[in-house]
Homo-oligomer: A and B are copies of this chain.
Amino acid sequence: MTHLKHLPLGYGGEFAIISAALKRWGALASGIGDDCAVLDVPAGERLVLSVDTAVEGVHFRRTWLSPEEIGYRATMAALSDLAAMAATPMGVAIALTLPTGWKDEFLALCDGIGEATKAVGARIIGGDLSRGADLSLSLTVVGHVATPLSREGARPGDAIWVTGALGGPLLALRAWERGETPDATARARFARPTARFDAARWLLAHGATAGLDLSDGLLSDAGHLAAAGGVQLVVNLDRLPALAGATAEDAAQSGEEYELLVTGPASLDAKAFEAACGLPITCIGAVVPPLPGEPLVEALRHGARVAVPRGHDHFPSP
């Protein structure tokens, strides 16, 4: 058994397609061809694993993104869950459902998957290829970490911090849905997100008590931290770092940002963070004790409470 080389594959059209992908990935893919991938978790560390699916027509439209971007984005979105735990990424396994009309774009899709995997220093460790009506990419990502940064752990008295500048994915979606071309910066925030591995490790090392990556929208995700920690989060929308062209409300609602939302010391050194990680971090509120009958998240705008706009939800309540 080895996880350093591939096993020769059998024959058939499926294997020919997989072989073409392996050739494209080169040294980036390792140990494909056995029933399972075999990996070693460093002694004393824990395994972290997440699965994330992107379906054409639900998570993206084919007219919006190139096949490379579709592969890149789906892979980076999955990897972002490892980053949110402050983990070191190891491997990506790809369950790909390919409609007939996508056969020609398959290698471009593989290039995007490979590029995102390479960008974070991981490897492609396996996968499964199926036919189907919808293009669907289900990415399993695995990594290791000594002490994970959890969603649980926010304490009253903590400050709330967010990395980067928000609103880009929402601006891009809004433009596409109006039939317009999004601004290049906003489009890039949707098409080529970045998983914040270095930032999460820096934050964990500097006292972050809880954290997650922004996928549902800041206020929805703040609700996850509040629920997991048994606390209330008070978010000051006036302070949200918004991308040029985005309002505070846009920044509060925009999903699939893959920036980090953490709780931790109010004394966090934002300049040192920016110097170390190459991106800004902003204090946007505070953690308070939960109040009976109060919502998990309270949003303030111009000093007054505002209703919490809902983020992204694939299955809206009836």
Contacts and interface: CB of A to CB of B under 8 A. Distances in A.
Interface in A123-141: 125-134, 136, 138, 140
Contacts of A205: none
A318 interface: yes
A33 interface: yes
Interface residues of A, number: 85
A16 B130 contact: no
A9 interface: yes
B82 A36 contact: yes
Given A14-B314, A47-B142, A227-B8, A134 B131 contact: no
Contact of A11 (B41, B213, B223): B223
Q: How many copies does the complex hold?
A: 2
A131 B316 CA distance: 11
Interface in A277-303: 296
Interface of A: 1-2, 7-14, 16-17, 33-41, 43, 46-53, 55, 57-59, 81-82, 84-85, 87, 91, 93-95, 97, 125-134, 136, 138, 140, 142-143, 145, 147-153, 212-213, 216, 220-221, 223-224, 227-228, 230, 296, 310, 313-318
Given A38-B47, A129-B315, 8 more contacts: A10-B221, A12-B313, A14-B314, A34-B212, A35-B151, A36-B81, A36-B85, A37-B50
